[in-house]
């Protein structure tokens, strides 16, 4: 059994990707920046700043100013929130509380590109007792977002501080997006890809996932057999 689990948030803990994709499409179009739902799923895991800068560079041949990207990101966040709370992913609650109750007491971290403070607060309302702030790595905590391994390296360092015997192969990353899978593998960790969106399990394997699953329930069954 793994000693630490590093869960991504969007598309893993919350079924928030359909609304994220819609909000990105609408706001980018408003600013004359071409961006599709597929772009959103492929870029998933990057910070808002990075998504906007890359799209802006492709469309206009230059980077946006800090004022510009911050304004676009704010509009996107406002539209996202106007849709209300994203539901939990099917099967994630059962999986998290099952892990939480294991006698081996695995560490459970949240590792996300999100910089949305309210969603991070909500997670403790939706899933009380699972993710303490000291076991969350968010856009506020690192310099380079996924697919850079930094977010997962920080999570590993924090987990190892709590358990000095912890080895990298004893940590399981749970990701739904190719860039997130790359980040986990770049950090040298075991990565379980769960395909919860419009991509395929083959996309996650191609990104380097060690194992892939079609649903959170399938991952849960796999972990029960470990
Ligand atoms: Ca994700």
Q: DSSP letters along 10-34, please?
A: BTTTB--HHHHHHHHHHHHHHTT--
Per-residue confidence (pLDDT) for residue 102, from 0 to 100? 97
CA distances from 85 to 88, 89, 119, 126, 186 (A): 9, 12, 8, 10, 32
Tell me how far the alpha carbon of residue 133 lies from the centroid of ligand 1, in angstroms: 19
**Successive 10-residue mean pLDDT values, the chain, 226 residues:** 95 93 96 93 86 95 97 95 91 98 97 76 89 88 91 98 98 96 98 95 96 98 96
Q: What is the pLDDT of residues 129-170, one digit of tens each?
A: 999 888 999 888 988 988 999 999 999 999 999 999 999 999
Per-residue confidence (pLDDT) for residue 145, from 0 to 100? 87
Per-residue confidence (pLDDT) for residue 92, from 0 to 100? 98
Tell me how far the alpha carbon of residue 197 lies from the centroid of ligand 1, in angstroms: 9
Whole-angstrom distance, CA of residue 190 vs CA of residue 171: 6
Around ion ligand 1, residues with a beta carbon closer than 5 Å are 8, 10-11, 176-177
Instruction: Tell me if the bond preceding 148 is cis, omega within 30° of 0.
Output: no
Tell me how far the alpha carbon of residue 181 lies from the centroid of ligand 1, in angstroms: 9
The tokens of 181 are what? 């899978």
Phi then psi for 54, rounded to 5 degrees?
A: -65, -45
The tokens of 16 are what? 């928030």
Tell me how far the alpha carbon of residue 112 lies from the centroid of ligand 1, in angstroms: 8
């Amino acid at each position: 059994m793994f000693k630490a689990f590093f869960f991504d948030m969007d598309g893993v803990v919350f079924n928030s990707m359909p609304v994220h994709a819609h909000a990105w499409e609408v706001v980018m179009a408003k600013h004359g920046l071409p961006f599709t739902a597929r772009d959103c799923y492929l870029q998933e895991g990057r910070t808002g700043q990075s998504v906007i800068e890359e799209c802006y560079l492709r469309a206009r041949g230059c980077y946006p100013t800090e004022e510009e990207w911050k304004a676009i990101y704010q509009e996107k966040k406002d539209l996202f929130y106007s849709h209300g709370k994203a539901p939990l992913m099917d099967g994630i609650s059962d999986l998290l509380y099952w892990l939480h109750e294991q006698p081996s007491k695995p560490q459970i971290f949240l590792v996300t590109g999100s910089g949305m403070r309210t969603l991070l607060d909500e997670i403790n309302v939706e899933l009380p007792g699972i993710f303490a702030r000291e076991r969350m790595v968010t856009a506020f905590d690192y310099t380079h977002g996924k697919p850079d391994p930094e977010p997962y390296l920080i999570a590993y360092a924090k987990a190892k501080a709590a358990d000095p015997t912890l080895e990298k192969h004893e940590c399981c990353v749970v990701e739904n997006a190719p860039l997130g899978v790359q980040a986990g593998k770049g950090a040298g960790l075991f990565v379980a890809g769960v395909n919860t969106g419009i991509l395929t399990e083959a996309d996650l394997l191609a990104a380097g996932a060690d194992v892939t699953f079609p649903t959170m329930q399938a991952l849960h069954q796999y972990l029960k057999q470990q």
